[in-house]
Amino acid sequence: MFEASSGLVDLTDASPARHRRITSLRVTSGRRSLDSTYYDWLLVDGRIFGGNPAQNNKSTHGSWIIDLCVGNKYRIGRKIGSGGFGEIYLGKNMISGEEVAVKLESVKAKRPQLEHEARVYKSLAGGVGVPYVRWFGTECDYNAMVLDLLGPSLEDLFNFCNRKFSLKTVLLLADQLISRIAHIHTNSVIHRDIKPDNFLMGVGKRGNLVNIIDFGLAKKYRDPRTHSHIPYRENRNSAGTARYASINTHMGIEQSRRDDMESLGYVMLYFCCGSLPWQGLKAATAKQKYDSVVFKKMATRTEALCHGLPNEFAIYLKYIRSLRFDDRPDYVYLRKIFRDLFVREGFKYDYVFDWTVQIPVQITEECIGHCPLLEPSPDFRYDAARRAKNGEMSKAVELQQAIQGSYPTIA
């Protein structure tokens, strides 16, 4: 039996000091196979860390221990996943006991990028929703970066909510997402890989705060001192994720601030609709599929893309697509159109997302099987039985811990 413990949540991000209590996480699941719905919910850099033990060739919860200490005080524990350019481990500050994430990269990597990513993080330090880099350096045969341990990504929560967010949740997220991107742009950086996987919710008292992560592809779009913008160039290699890439990126045009914002527009439409028109296209080769995505994206009119949604989404997309290469997006205006829609719809700015539950509830496998708000998929029930048989932590407990920031302890 597991009783959900309430956590006091600090509502930040330029809002008055207000508090509410989160009692549990809504336990639902996308109707997918067990292998793709089993999560450890230790998430950093926007990726699922852990996964099915069979996939990792491990069957014991809490495995993947390596004997390494970085920065003279961070002990590395089990492996919790793989980032785009390295491996991520659960770490612990041996002095304070605080748990952190440690990203490791071999010093022999063909294209080392961890130092670049650490520099970007440090240039953005102090911003709301930007993880803090506690240490970066080389230890033994590894480059290591120690940073905040965060909660689930928006992609994971999207799957958790059966791949559809309510308009209220999308608008609550939009306000924070625009603010995050505005902050990195103000610091002369463009992200170049805006997608749901690269936004993580916080844990504990910061459980309602969206964090932007994974700056492996980020670059300066202007000189930080003179603000001289990089030159317009064509025939550039595409960077980022095809599903959310801007049309100009597909055309080989150098990316700038407008491209991050266009990608965000596609993310919001994805959350509202459950998918984008260029998803699921069939092709014989990867290149043919990519070309099909580009063709479909360019052929889909804004009105068709935003069909059935409030007009503000089309206004957003048309505005972003009208920007010139070196134009500064009007972030205040963009937040305002969605905030005005939020007020017009009569929503309450209470930071209650689709994945949060407002009523006290005892989170047990039995409860999950009977509570309408917590209806699981058959895979979830099967996974619960498998975990019980193997003596592993139940998913209900893991999900609660992920939100409240209480992870398996490193001795």
DSSP β-ladder status, 210-212 and 7-11 = unpaired
pLDDT of residue 112: 86
Q: Tell me if residue 47 falls in helix, strand or coil.
A: strand
Confidence of residue 239 (pLDDT cuts 50, 70, 90): confident
User: Residues, the chain, total?
Assistant: 411
> CA-to-CA distance for 28 and 30, rounded, in angstroms?
7
Give the domains, in start order, of the chain with CATH numbers. Answer: 76-91+99-148 (3.30.200.20), 152-358 (1.10.510.10)
Residue in this structure with the two tokens 């920065």, named with its chain if needed: 71
Contact 145, 89 (CB under 8 A): no
Give pLDDT tens digits for 88-116: 899 999 999 999 999 999 998 888 889 99
Summary mean pLDDT of the chain:
78
Per annotation, catalytic residue among 45, 148, 193, 197? 193
Known catalytic membership, residue 193: yes
Give pLDDT tens digits for 327-352: 999 999 999 999 999 999 999 999 99
pLDDT of residue 224: 93
Give pLDDT tens digits for 130-184: 999 999 999 888 999 999 998 889 999 999 999 999 999 999 999 999 999 999 9
Confidence of residue 376 (pLDDT cuts 50, 70, 90): very low
pLDDT of residue 15: 38
- Per cent of the chain over pLDDT 70 is 69
Q: Tell me if residue 7 falls in helix, strand or coil.
A: strand
Write out the E strands in 86-127: 87-93, 99-106
pLDDT > 60? residue 122: yes
Contact 135, 70 (CB under 8 A): yes
The reported pTM is 0.74
pLDDT of residue 212: 97
Confidence of residue 78 (pLDDT cuts 50, 70, 90): confident
Residue in this structure with the two tokens 């890989």, named with its chain if needed: 193
226 C-beta neighbours (distance < 10 Å), count: 7
Q: Which of 85-89, 152-156, 188-192 has the highest mean pLDDT?
A: 188-192
